[in-house]
Every structure is written in structure tokens, then in C-alpha cells.
């Protein structure tokens, strides 16, 4: 079993501050392998998005460094999911309190993957996305937008959502309102597939076909080639005039 993880980010062509934060980690014991990837997109319309996204990423990084080994001794995905949700809610409260104390509003999306051997858990708040890239490109997360909520509650059809002017209106992120409901999902890694976590700046101006072409798991198999292709994708969206910060992290699992 082997994990390859890469990450890259760019401030983009228009902004003066990169408000995205990322984290990639791998760990191993004599019998198992683990990995964690996170991408947090600080909210550009609010103040100090880079502070919010950095705090979330650091918090999970510190948890991985100090608590993960102990969790492995009695690994339980339900417990890990609860710990993750609790941590995101605690961060939400802490960032809200910081904002109130300083008279500002700050917030961030938070999306991550935690892998142990061939299993993974995705945790997710906002509109940063996780894609699985193998024979095709499959989105593994739901955007936390107004229309997706309405669809899941049975109050809107997908066809109505496509025409609705609120289709890209984000309704939850970390650090702004007291109510946050992280999405948790589980799955099994596919050997040889790529898993891409990316901020919306990376995915706005590329099609799924282009993602598959650039990050083809059949052709792009080493760490250096994945790094090069991720950078290529970033440069492509900059040429296409993407104005936002641009970030991505990729996991390749082989077993």
C-alpha cells in the first residue's frame, strides 16, 4: 500500500492575498498507512479569510500529529466522524467569537479526506469539492448551496435548481453563523485512482473532461508528474482569467 499526496496553491491573477489554506500528511506504522488532505477556502467577501482557513487547517494538522497514533490503537470510524464534527463545530464557535471580539466577519470552507489503508472518510462544509478521477470524474461532495439543500429536502427538483438564480449561493461555512452541519461520508479507495480536493477557483473554468485529461491516473503516476500536472491546471485557469485564489490537493493510492 502506498499513498502519494501533493498540494499546490496560487494567489491567482487578481487578488492580493491568498486566503486558501492546505494541508497534506501521510503516516505509517509497521502494518498500516494513513493520509490526511485538507483544503480550506477563506471567504473572500469577508475579512481575514486567510486567518480563518489557516486556523482550521492548523487545528486538524495538530490533531493528526498529536492524537492520530492513539486513535489507531482502537480505530473506529464512527468515533473519528464524531471527533471531526465536534472539532469543526468548536472551530466554528471560536472563529465566530474572534470575529465578534474584533468587529469583523470571517469564514472559510473546510473539506478534507482522512484515509486509513483502503478506507476513507470525507468531511466537508462549503463548496470546496472532492473529485474521484479514474475512468471518469465523479464529484464525491455536495456543494452546500441553497439549491442543493432544497433538493435534498424535496422542495426543488434538479431541473428547477439549474434555472434558479440562487444555484451558487453558499449557505454554510465555518465561522459565520452558529449553525453548521458538516457532511461526513465514507468510501473505499480505488487503487490507482486520483482524489482531487480543490477550491472553487480551480474548478470554475475547467471541464470534467479536462480534469480527467490533465490528471489521468493511467498516465500521471508519480509524485513529480502529479505535481507538474496540478500546477499545469492552475496555470490553465489563470490563463482563462480566473480571478479567485486557486488551490488543489491530490491523493493517489496504490495497493
Partner 1 sequence: MSLTSEERMVVAAAVVIYIVLNMIMWTAIVLINRKKRKKNQIAQRVSAELPPEAKPGERVLMLQPDENGELQKAFGARKSVPTADEEFLQKGPGDNFRIVRSIIIVHSDERIK
Closest of 206, 213, 209, 245 to residue 229, by C-alpha: 213
Residue number with CB closer to partner 1 (20 or 133): 20
Residue number with CB closer to partner 1 (150 or 213): 150
- Whole-number minimum distance, CB 2 to partner 1, in Å? 10
Residue number with CB closer to partner 1 (32 or 239): 32
Residue number with CB closer to partner 1 (96 or 212): 96
Residue number with CB closer to partner 1 (48 or 229): 48
Strand 20-28 with 2-10, pairing: unpaired
Return the DSSP state at 162: H
Region 43-82 residues binding partner 1, contact defined as CB under 8 A: 43, 45-46, 48, 50-55, 57-58, 61, 64-65, 69, 72-73, 75-78, 81
How far is C-alpha 113 from the chain's CA centre?
A: 7
Residue number with CB closer to partner 1 (72 or 236): 72
Q: Which residue has 492575498 as its cell numbers?
A: 17
Region 179-238 residues binding partner 1, contact defined as CB under 8 A: 179-186, 200
Among 12, 92, 95, 129, binds partner 1 (CB under 8 A): 95
Region 127-186 residues binding partner 1, contact defined as CB under 8 A: 127, 142, 144, 146, 148-149, 152-153, 156, 160, 164-173, 176-186
How far is C-alpha 114 from the chain's CA centre?
A: 11
- Please state, in angstroms and rounded to a whole number, the distance separating the CA atoms of residues 218 and 194: 10
- Whole-number minimum distance, CB 215 to partner 1, in Å? 19
- Whole-number minimum distance, CB 146 to partner 1, in Å? 6
What is the secondary structure of 29-78 as a DSSP string? -SS-EEEEEEEEEB-TTSTTHHHHHHHHHHHHHHHHHHHHHHHHTT--HH
Residues 6+ apart with CB under 8 A from 7: 22, 23, 24, 37, 39, 230, 247, 248, 249, 250
Q: How many CB atoms lie within 10 A of CB 44?
A: 16
- Secondary structure of residue 131 in the 3-state scheme: strand
- Whole-number minimum distance, CB 213 to partner 1, in Å? 25
Residue number with CB closer to partner 1 (103 or 178): 178
Residue 130: strand pairing partners:
197
Among 107, 112, 217, 248, binds partner 1 (CB under 8 A): 107
Asked if 22 is part of the footprint of partner 1 (rule: CB under 8 A), the reply reads yes
- Whole-number minimum distance, CB 1 to partner 1, in Å? 11
Amino acid at each position: 500500500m502506498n499513498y502519494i499526496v501533493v498540494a499546490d496553491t496560487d494567489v491567482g491573477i487578481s487578488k492580493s492575498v491568498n486566503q486558501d489554506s492546505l494541508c497534506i500528511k501521510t503516516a505509517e506504522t509497521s502494518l498500516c498507512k494513513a493520509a490526511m488532505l485538507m483544503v480550506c477556502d477563506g471567504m473572500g467577501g469577508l475579512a481575514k479569510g486567510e486567518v480563518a482557513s489557516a486556523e482550521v487547517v492548523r487545528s486538524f494538522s495538530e490533531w493528526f500529529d498529536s492524537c492520530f497514533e492513539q486513535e489507531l490503537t482502537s480505530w473506529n470510524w464512527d468515533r473519528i466522524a464524531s471527533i471531526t464534527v465536534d472539532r469543526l463545530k468548536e472551530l466554528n464557535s471560536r472563529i465566530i467569537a474572534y470575529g465578534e471580539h474584533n468587529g469583523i466577519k470571517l469564514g472559510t470552507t473546510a473539506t478534507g479526506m482522512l484515509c486509513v489503508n483502503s478506507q476513507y472518510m470525507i468531511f466537508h462544509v462549503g463548496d470546496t469539492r472532492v473529485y474521484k478521477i479514474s475512468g471518469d470524474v465523479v464529484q464525491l461532495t455536495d456543494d452546500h448551496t441553497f439549491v442543493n439543500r432544497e433538493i435534498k429536502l424535496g422542495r426543488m427538483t434538479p431541473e428547477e435548481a439549474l434555472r434558479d438564480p440562487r444555484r451558487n449561493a453558499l449557505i454554510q461555512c465555518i465561522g459565520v453563523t452558529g449553525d453548521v452541519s458538516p457532511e461526513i461520508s465514507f468510501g473505499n479507495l480505488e487503487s490507482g485512482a486520483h482524489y482531487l480536493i480543490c477550491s472553487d477557483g480551480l474548478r470554475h473554468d475547467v471541464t470534467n473532461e479536462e480534469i480527467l485529461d490533465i490528471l489521468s491516473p493511467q498516465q500521471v503516476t508519480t509524485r513529480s508528474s502529479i505535481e507538474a500536472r496540478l500546477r499545469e491546471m492552475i496555470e490553465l485557469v489563470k490563463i482563462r482569467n480566473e480571478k479567485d485564489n486557486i488551490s488543489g490537493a491530490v491523493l493517489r493510492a496504490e495497493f
